[in-house]
Amino acid sequence: MVARTRRTKVWLWRWRRNPLRRGSDVVEAWVVLAAWVLALVGGVLVGLVAQGAVERDLDRQRVERRTVTAVLVENAQDKPSAAAVDDDRVWVKARWTGTDGSRHTGLIKVQPGAKARTPVEVWTDERGAVVSKPVTHGEARLQAVLSGVLCAVVAGGAVAGGAHAVRAGLDRWRREQWAAEWARVDTRWGGKTG
């Protein structure tokens, strides 16, 4: 029967005075500590900044976008094309007057079979271009929070990835040092192993 050996984990060993502690161990400890702090604090800050930027942009869109009445210039098709996968509406040419009084002509989406000269409400931006309906305040808040969380996770992941790369470099350097030391010891013993 094989006797089991018990492995004990020594916490914070890289920070303690120890004759076996190498300089690269101290560097690794500082890298890990800095990565944790930077990932947490930086991730939160990046997330908050991203959330604020998205929320401001969506609020600005709600303020700038207006509804105007467009008039269809031509009859709409009776059914959507096979390429229309987003909804059951069709594209048709229409004419409208922007909030600044300028006249515009372009394509808008309407229900199939709509006749020419039919009035249709469309959303426009400050230049009079047709845009999508702005999101509600609740939807804007949700999008902003989700964007902030995503940016925080990406920022934290980037820091963790960088720390992992530094630790991998330290491990590679330690293996090279270990191999060089073994080569010196092997030479002292008067032979070449392997």
Residue 67 has a pLDDT of 92
Eight-class DSSP state of 73: S
133 against 24, higher pLDDT = 133
How sure is the predictor about 188, in pLDDT bands with cuts at 50, 70 and 90? Answer: low
Q: Is the predicted pLDDT of residue 14 greater than 70, yes or no?
A: no
In the DSSP assignment, the letter for residue 110 is: E
Is residue 118 over pLDDT 70? yes
Report residue 124 as tokens.
């426009």
- Do residues 124 and 66 touch, judged by C-beta distance below 8 A? yes
Q: What's the distance, CA 25 to chain centroid?
A: 33
Three-state DSSP state, 75:
coil
Tokens 């709409």 sit on residue: 76
167 — pLDDT class (breaks 50, 70, 90)? very high
Identify which of 37, 7, 13, 33 has the alpha carbon closest to the alpha carbon of residue 25: 13
Given pLDDT bands bounded at 50, 70 and 90, which one contains residue 91? confident
pLDDT computed for residue 69 by the predictor: 92
